[in-house]
Structure 1
């Protein structure tokens, strides 16, 4: 069991890992990719940067610095965290045990950029199967996503309903779940009255009582919500030591509001 696993390879996560290593703790960085830094072409407001630098280049420098200190960098996708005598981070490859976990995966990803999405957040648009799945037992459930994170959420939702529709929103499904309808067309609108009633795609309209968002990889807030950590204004709440209300679960960077 490691002392600390940092989930996220951006500036906050790598900086924390470097300090932890200097204090002779057994720390590892777990990440799938370079995150939002990959989409940043021009950075110049960063300490020590004389000329503008691409986000991808800054990311590579940070990872190289961590590796120079012999900090393991595990290129895997975190899909869940279990708590029992510490933490077990489940990935698309294996499980990793740690006494402490630091969430540093950056800010939450944007949701669907379609008509009705923002109108129905909290009114049939949901982001956490563990938190909200029970509320929709025996209802028509929709879920948007294509990867391991979607499969993880889907497995939770299967405990509450046999009527589940998967929407890939025009993307290719990475794994083919059995026994569920899969809609591959692009979503163009979320419809409803007081709550969500249907999802309209380019090929037609599909009735749902709720639409769970599970696109891409799990964010820090996704993990925090599942574990019962406090969230405010879509950011993880931490104390002066960056610990959440869950002992041993810390968060840093954009996921706590910057």
Structure 2
């Protein structure tokens, strides 16, 4: 059991971890080496550096600092966050439990280029199996994706229907660990998708090879889940895919905080670090209040 699980090991997440670990909270940071900051070759506007530093170097030094203080850092992909008595965080390789969660995954940039996909959003195309799965009881549904995330969403949909197909859109399925085994019970279609079609709602998927397939609903779970995907699952309020937070970086769900680009803030390292610091302090207060109740 962790006091806090931080999802994302960029400036916001690492900044928060420095505060929580120094307050003796058991802190786990989970993330992958996919921060957009890694692409920045020259950073000249961040306080404290007389010489130019690269984004890659800044990230590496941040991780080293957190690890030195005792933060556990796990290089893994978070698939889902669920709320029970505490919060359960599922990754490709395992499951972790925490009293509080900080989402610091940056802002979603993924875009699936399929004709009419956006036109059918809310009319057969969904981004949340937990939110919309109920509407597809015993119907034929698909999951658009090629990773553990897609397999996880397919598993979630089994509570509503058994007619589930994973459409990888021309990619090979990249499931790992238990998800590789779980994927075997689903239909897998790897053909590239050309467009979606239907009248009032989605009815058909057309493939680039000229074939087509009837479908009642399509759940998008492409690449890795974003901050917006986590928010939808938990019932967190968002605005234009940005997580809404108060002045304490807390969401509308007690115990769930957010910091950095995923909140729609000014996209600067200094902003992310500042929000991470505020979130770290408020997480400390939140966890200590739980301890006092017990």
Alpha-carbon separation, structure 1, partners of 2:25 and 2:204: 50
Greater helix proportion: 2
Maintained 8 Å contact 2:168/2:190: yes
Residue 230 in structure 1 maps to residue 237 in structure 2: yes
How much does 1:70 deviate? 2.3
SS at match of 2:184: coil
- Verify: 1:178 aligned to 2:184, yes or no: yes
Over residues 112-134 of structure 1, what are the superposed CA-to-partner deviations in whole Å (9 max), with x where a residue is unaligned? 12221222222222111011111
2:228 counterpart residue number? 221
Q: 1:253 aligns with which of 260, 263, 281?
A: 260
1:1-258 counterparts in 2 under 5 A?
Answer: 1-49=1-49, 53-174=53-174, 175=180, 177-203=183-209, 204-258=211-265
Q: 1:88/1:181 Cα in 2 relative to 1: closer, same or farther (>3 Å)?
A: closer
Q: Can you give the 5+ residue segments of structure 2 that lack an aligned partner in the other structure?
A: 175-179, 266-294
Name the residue aligned to 2:177. Answer: none
CA-based RMSD: 2.1
| 8 Å Cα contact 1:34/1:59 also seen in 2 | no
Distance 1:186 1:42, change over 3 A: farther
TM-score (norm 1): 0.90
CA offsets, 1:105-159, max 9 Å, x none? Answer: 1112323122212222222221110111111112221111122111111001122
TM-score scaled by length of structure 2? 0.80
Aligned residues: 258
Q: Which runs of 5+ in 1 are unaligned?
A: none
Rounded to whole Å, the distance in 2 between the matches of 1:51 and 1:137 is 59
Give the deviation of 1:90 after TM superposition: 2.0
| Residues 15 and 170 of structure 1: CA distance in aligned 2, closer, same or farther (over 3 Å) | same
Structure 2 CA distance for partners of 1:192 and 1:257, relative to 1, 3 Å:
same
State whether residues 42 and 52 of structure 1, in contact with CA within 8 Å, keep that contact through their aligned partners in structure 2: yes
Partner deviation per Cα, 1:29-77 (whole Å, 9 max, x = no partner):
1113333334445544433455554433332222122122221101122
| Maintained 8 Å contact 1:9/1:34 | no
Larger RCO (CA within 8 A; separation ≥ 6):
2
In our comparison, the structure showing a higher alpha carbon Rg is 2
The superposition leaves residues 149-191 of structure 1 with CA deviations (integer Å, 9 ceiling, x where unpaired) of: 1111100112212222211112111236234332212222222
